[in-house]
Amino acid sequence: MGMGIAANQVGFDRRVIVVKPKGQQPFTLFNPELVSGDELVVDEEGCLSFPNLFIKINRFNNITVKYLDKLAKECTITLSGYDAKCVQHEIDHLDGITFTKRVSKLKLDLALKKQRKLDGRTK
């Protein structure tokens, strides 16, 4: 299940993401910018663009993001845990970075091998 999506993942060339933090309604962040982050943690991550591919990625556990809301009002939000990871992942998409670019070739190759097994392929 996806927790967020970036506009460029669906062919819309704008700096827009939609996220659904736990326990909240989905909302849109226009021109999101990571202002600060701390406490790097490693956690398994997946992506709707790469079905059945899961990779352990370093992300900040706590972040502050500046963005515009649907009324073009400048807002700031602080997120932690899974919600923070999701927003960082989606901002990466806007910057042209997929989570596959955040790991070594060896780790990616191992993850791709596991993905093929999950998909029922052997090669």
Number of domains present in the structure of the chain: 1
In a domain, 33, yes or no: yes
Phi, psi at 39, each rounded to 5°? 60, 80
Which residue in the list 33, 45, 74, 90 is annotated as catalytic? 90
Q: Look at residues 95, 101, 1 and name the one whose alpha carbon lies nearest to residue 46.
A: 1
Helix (H) or strand (E) holding 45: strand 27-47
In a domain, 123, yes or no: no
CATH of the domain at 108: 3.90.45.10
From the DSSP assignment, how many helices (H) and strands (E) are in the chain? 2, 5
From first to last of its 123 residues, the chain has per-residue pLDDT tens of: 468 999 999 999 999 999 998 888 999 999 999 999 999 999 999 999 999 999 999 999 999 999 999 999 999 999 999 999 999 999 999 999 999 999 999 999 899 999 988 877 655
pTM for this structure?
0.89
Domain that holds residue 28: 4-118
CB 48 within 8 A of CB 2: yes
In a domain, 48, yes or no: yes
Query: From CA 26, how far away is CA 58, in angstroms rounded?
Result: 25
Q: What is the pLDDT of residue 117?
A: 85
Clarify whether 90 is annotated catalytic.
Answer: yes
